Structures are given as structure tokens and as C-alpha cells.
């Protein structure tokens, strides 16, 4: 889904110009005629959808600086680009000190607006990713970090929040890649152990002869190769949370020792003379049916009931397809920050195919697919060409690989009816193709007599002359249709000696 930009300006002409430029780049637009309306929008139900604000500083009643003062405490990470007709240094300094991400003087060229928006959104992505990594490192991730709006994920969050209020043992059940560790971290970050140690043990990845040493520790010289003391994962997590991932993979003899450690709140390191007391919150996870494992004798029944006091079931991604678009947006933003890319989203046709996939590897598989696509992408949008491993699926959906990417104008959303400022212009029917179609567009010659490309300046001159003739010399409309400012248009007219005459 396209990112939404809020334009706040009391000048209707400036609002229309900015809206045309921004929608041409594929963003959704909300319009506000004044400061109070902008504040009401940001505080309302649609405020969370706004990714960036274009804010005029000089407005009646509530000016831009007042809006900045109100919005900053409410949305400290929301990028705000301020614009004004008065570009004094004092104004620039005041706006930046108040938290503006960028500043430019009206009228600005479409290129300047486009670059400013992309830079502000890229910086926001980078800040979000740094903030997420800091929360993860400090053990302070919470359920706000879970991505998903489906009823199934809402239920997971409700159960997790309740479990976080106590020290009750939790068993998270779900297929591989659904995000069991993410939920465990959210439980820790929402509990009174937030900020304490969060230690992860993948029980299926530990060699069988090292399980006891890794979990419970050992003393120096307690066995061949024990050249120094090791405290073990239980003692590492003391005071915090121990996450036992794929707990169903533990050997039966280690299950007995794990049960005792949980029941007695103490561990017996190998070679130690006495047990060591511990204070650890246990969260376990499995992709197996542990009850079946119990019936078949591969998992201890007493340990199962000790771990499965508060079960949390995470459904696979194929059962919560409503979350796929949100997850894709999240991963695009993350890998934009990590890879220095500026991908804005997914082309609608490609998104439909991605939503329809079964994703047997769940969120982990989707994340890897988006990571690879972001690295491959050379444009603003991910298309079928960026998912070569899904070529058969795209072809089955009638999407050919290797076709040109959609332009921003082709995917730009229509302005909301409540904010429309003029009736939409019907799309012109395509002109019939001729043998000379490649050399001419709407009467503008692209190639010269020798079949070579004409210069950009010559083509631009013809285009400006065509626009002036088409719109009867109305320079404001010409500038709007060409996507440039009036001052830029007049400068180009002067430089190229174009004759401007309005029809009588």
C-alpha cells in the first residue's frame, strides 16, 4: 500500500500543485486547509496512516510553528517538511530547531520536492530500524513490534499480554518461521523482566553430548576439554528470561534434568559440588505436536505439563493473509535502511501474487524473499522481475517477467473524495500506432532526420510549446500539467526564446 503524505497549506493553488507532484510519484495524499485541520487529522483514526507532513509555516489562526509544537510530542518520529514563501535564515533555524526534517521555499521544483520526500522517508526508515535493534538488544521489544492486524494475531497479542503479567511458564506452538521468538521477546518486554537478560537456546541445534554443559554449565576440569569454567544458559538468563526454542528436540535424559531445574529453581553444573539457585522465567516453543510426542514416548509427560501451563498458538502465514501486505511493507522499510535503497512498495499486480502464495516457510520465507527483491530492485517499486524464484507463479497469474516497470503515475491512488479539488480528467484514448510511432509522440519528434535521438533541450522546447498551445497560454495550468513551478516554466521560456501568445 502506498505511503500517505499530508499536505497542510491554506493556499488552494499550492495544495493542488503539491498534490499533483506527490501523487505522480505514487504516494497517497491527504489535504488540510489549515493547522487545526491537520492536527485533527493526525489525532484522528487516519493519523496513523500518515508517513510524512508537508507543512506551510504562514497560515491564519494556527501557523506551522504551532502545528510543529503540537505534533512533535504526539508523533516524535513523523518527518515534517516545512515550506514558506519567506526564506529568511531565522525562519529556517526556528523550523529545524522545532523538529522539521527539511525546509524549502515556495515554489519548489518537482525534483526538489521528490528528493526531499525520499530523503525524509529514508531517514525515518533508518531511525526506526536503529530503534528496533536497540529495543531488541535491551530486551524491551513489546507487542507493538508485532506486525499484523489479522484477528489471529490480535488474539496472540491478547494472550501474550496477559501471560506477561505473571511468571507463568509459556509454551508457544507454531510452524517453523511464524515468529515464535518474536512473540517470546514481546512477552519479556511487556513483563516486569523487561530490560533483563533474554537468552535463546535452540535445543535442536545442540550436539547431544553438549546439551547438559550448554544448559547447566560445567566446572573447569570436570571432563576432557573443560579448560575453563562455563556458567551455562540458565545462569546467563538469571533474573531474566530463558527461551527454549524447539524444546521437543531435547533428548529424554536431558528432559529429566530440565524438569528438575524448573521445579527446584536450581541447576547442577557438571563437576560442581553444590546446586546453584536461579531465578529464570521459562518460555518454550515447538513446531511439533508435543502431545503426540508424549503418547509415542519421545517426550516426558510430566515435563510437557510443566511447560504447557499457558499455551499460545501462532497460526501459519497462509491462515492470516491480511498480514502479508503489512509484513512486506515492514521488511521493505527494514532492508531499505540496511541496504541504502529507496524502494517505496510493491506493484499492485505483484502484491496480489505474493498474497496468494502458500509461504510454507511462513514469515521467515517471506522476509528472505523481500530481502532478495529489495537487493535486486533498480526502481521505486518491486515487480515480478524482482522475484525470479516465483517466475512460474507470476506467469500462472498472467504476469510476464521482463516487461517494463509501472510508472508512478500508473499506480498513483486517486485523491479521496472528501478532499478532491477538481473533477478527474478522463484518460485520453491511445493514438493508433503507425510506422513512425517510435519517432513521434503527440507531434513531438524524438528522432532527427538521420534517425538519431534529438537533444533533450530540443525535445523539451517542443513539449513546452505544445503545452502552451494546448492550454491556450494559461501558464499556471501549463506549469501544473508539466509538473514544474511557474518560475521554472518562465525561466525555460526565456532561455529558449519561446513565444507565449494566448488565443483570443
Q: Tens of pLDDT along 356-389?
A: 999 999 999 999 999 999 999 988 889 999 999 9
Whole-number Å distance between alpha carbons of 32 and 55: 9
Please name the residues in contact with 473: beta carbons below 8 A apart, sequence gap of 6 or more: 500, 501, 502, 503
- Please determine, for residue 428, whether its predicted confidence score (pLDDT) is greater than 60: no
pLDDT-derived band at 501, boundaries 50, 70, 90:
low
Q: For residues 266 and 61, which has the higher predicted lDDT (pLDDT)?
A: 266
454 CB-side CA count, 13 A: 17
| Count of C-beta atoms within a 10 Å radius of residue 296 | 9
Question: Measured between alpha carbons, how far is 417 from 447 in angstroms, rounded to an integer?
Answer: 42
User: Residue 403: its pLDDT value, please?
Assistant: 53
**Residue 319, pLDDT score:** 94
Higher-pLDDT residue of 107, 220:
220
**In whole angstroms, what is the distance from residue 298 CA to residue 49 CA?**
49
Q: Is the pLDDT of residue 3 over 60?
A: yes
**Of residues 424 and 110, which shows the higher confidence score?**
110
Q: Is the pLDDT of residue 12 over 50?
A: yes
Give the SS3 label for residue 480: helix
Q: Is the pLDDT of residue 205 over 80?
A: yes
pLDDT value at residue 471: 81
**Model pLDDT, residue 465:** 85
Please check the confidence at residue 439 and state whether its pLDDT lies above 50. Answer: no
Name which of 79-93, 159-173, 256-270 the model is least confident about: 79-93
Q: Which residues contact 447 (CB under 8 A, 6 or more apart)?
A: 438, 439, 453, 454
What is the reported pLDDT for 57? 84
Q: Rounded to two decimals, what is the model's pTM?
A: 0.68
How would you class 262 by CB atoms within 10 Å of its CB: exposed for 0-12, middle for 13-18, buried for 19 or more? buried
Supply the mean pLDDT for the chain: 84
Confidence of residue 451 (pLDDT cuts 50, 70, 90): low
Query: Going by C-beta distance under 8 Å and a sequence separation of 6 or more, which residues neighbour residue 500?
Result: 468, 473, 475, 493
Residue 486 has pLDDT above 70, yes or no: yes
Percentage of residues of the chain with pLDDT beyond 90: 40
Q: Tell the residue number behind the cell numbers 527483491, with chain if given.
A: 373
Higher-pLDDT residue of 428, 499: 499
In this predicted model, what pLDDT tens digit does every residue of 397-414 receive, in sequence order?
A: 888 776 545 544 444 343
Q: Of 191-195, 417-421, 491-495, give the lowest mean pLDDT range.
A: 417-421
Q: Rounded to 10 degrees, what is the CA torsion of 184, 185, 188, 190?
A: -110
**Among residues 104, 93, 100, which one has the least CA distance to residue 79?**
100
Residue 435: pLDDT band by 50, 70, 90 thresholds?
very low
Residue bearing the bigger pLDDT, 313 or 102: 313
Categorize the per-residue pLDDT at 59 as very low, low, confident or very high, splitting at 50, 70 and 90: confident
Grid cell of 16 as nine digits = 493542488
pLDDT value for 415 = 35
pLDDT on residue 400: 72
87: confidence class by pLDDT, cuts 50, 70, 90: low
Amino acid at each position: 500500500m502506498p505511503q500517505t503524505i499530508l499536505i497542510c497549506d491554506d493556499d488552494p493553488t499550492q495544495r493542488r500543485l503539491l498534490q499533483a507532484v506527490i501523487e505522480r510519484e505514487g504516494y497517497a495524499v491527504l489535504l488540510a486547509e489549515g493547522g487545526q485541520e491537520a492536527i485533527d487529522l493526525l489525532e484522528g483514526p487516519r493519523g496513523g496512516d500518515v508517513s510524512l507532513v508537508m507543512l506551510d509555516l504562514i497560515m491564519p489562526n494556527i501557523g506551522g510553528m504551532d502545528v510543529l509544537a503540537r505534533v512533535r510530542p504526539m508523533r516524535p518520529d513523523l518527518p515534517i517538511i516545512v515550506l514558506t514563501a519567506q526564506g529568511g535564515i531565522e525562519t529556517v533555524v526556528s523550523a529545524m530547531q522545532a523538529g522539521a526534517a527539511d525546509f524549502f521555499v515556495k515554489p519548489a521544483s518537482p525534483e526538489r520536492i521528490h528528493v526531499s520526500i525520499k530523503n525524509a522517508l529514508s531517514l525515518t526508515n533508518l531511525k526506526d530500524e536503529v530503534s528496533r535493534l536497540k529495543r531488541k538488544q535491551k530486551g524491551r521489544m513489546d507487542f507493538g513490534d508485532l506486525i499484523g492486524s489479522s484477528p489471529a494475531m490480535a488474539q496472540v497479542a491478547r494472550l501474550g499480554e496477559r501471560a506477561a503479567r505473571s511468571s507463568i511458564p509459556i509454551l508457544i506452538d507454531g510452524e517453523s518461521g511464524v515468529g515464535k521468538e518474536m512473540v517470546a521477546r514481546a512477552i519479556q518486554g511487556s513483563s516486569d523482566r523487561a530490560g533483563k537478560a533474554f537468552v535463546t537456546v535452540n535445543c535442536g541445534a545442540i550436539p547431544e553430548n553438549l546439551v547438559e554443559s550448554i544448559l547447566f554449565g560445567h566446572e573447569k576440569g570436570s571432563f576432557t576439554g573443560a579448560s575453563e569454567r562455563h556458567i551455562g544458559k540458565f545462569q546467563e538468563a538469571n533474573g531474566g528470561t530463558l527461551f527454549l526454542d524447539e524444546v521437543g528436540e531435547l533428548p529424554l535424559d536431558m528432559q529429566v534434568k530440565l524438569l528438575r531445574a524448573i521445579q527446584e529453581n536450581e541447576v547442577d553444573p557438571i563437576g560442581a559440588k553444590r546446586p546453584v539457585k536461579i531465578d529464570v522465567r521459562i518460555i518454550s516453543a515447538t513446531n511439533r505436536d508435543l502431545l503426540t510426542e508424549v503418547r509415542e514416548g519421545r517426550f516426558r509427560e510430566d515435563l510437557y505439563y510443566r511447560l504447557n501451563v499457558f499455551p499460545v498458538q501462532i497460526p501459519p502465514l497462509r491462515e492470516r493473509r491480511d498480514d502479508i501486505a503489512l509484513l512486506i511493507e515492514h521488511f521493505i522499510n527494514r532492508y531499505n535502511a540496511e541496504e541504502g535503497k529507496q524502494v517505496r512498495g510493491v506493484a499492485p499486480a505483484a502484491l496480489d501474487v505474493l498474497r496468494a502464495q502458500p509461504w510454507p516457510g511462513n514469515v521467515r520465507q517471506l522476509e528472505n524473499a523481500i530481502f532478495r527483491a529489495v537487493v535486486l530492485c533498480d526502481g521505486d517499486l518491486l515487480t515480478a522481475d524482482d522475484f525470479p524464484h516465483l517466475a512460474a507463479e507470476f506467469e500462472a497469474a498472467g504476469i510476464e517477467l521482463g516487461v517494463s516497470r509501472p510508472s508512478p503515475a500508473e499506480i498513483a491512488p486517486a485523491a479521496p473524495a472528501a478532499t478532491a479539488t477538481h473533477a478527474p480528467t478522463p484518460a485520453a484514448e491511445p493514438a493508433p500506432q503507425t510506422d513512425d510511432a517510435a519517432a513521434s509522440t503527440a507531434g513531438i519528434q524524438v528522432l532527427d532526420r538521420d534517425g538519431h535521438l534529438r537533444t533533450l533541450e530540443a525535445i523539451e522546447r517542443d513539449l513546452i510549446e505544445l503545452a502552451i498551445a494546448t492550454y491556450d497560454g494559461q501558464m499556471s495550468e501549463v506549469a501544473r500539467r508539466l509538473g514544474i513551478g511557474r518560475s521554472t516554466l518562465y525561466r525555460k521560456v526565456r532561455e529558449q526564446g519561446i513565444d507565449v501568445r494566448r488565443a483570443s
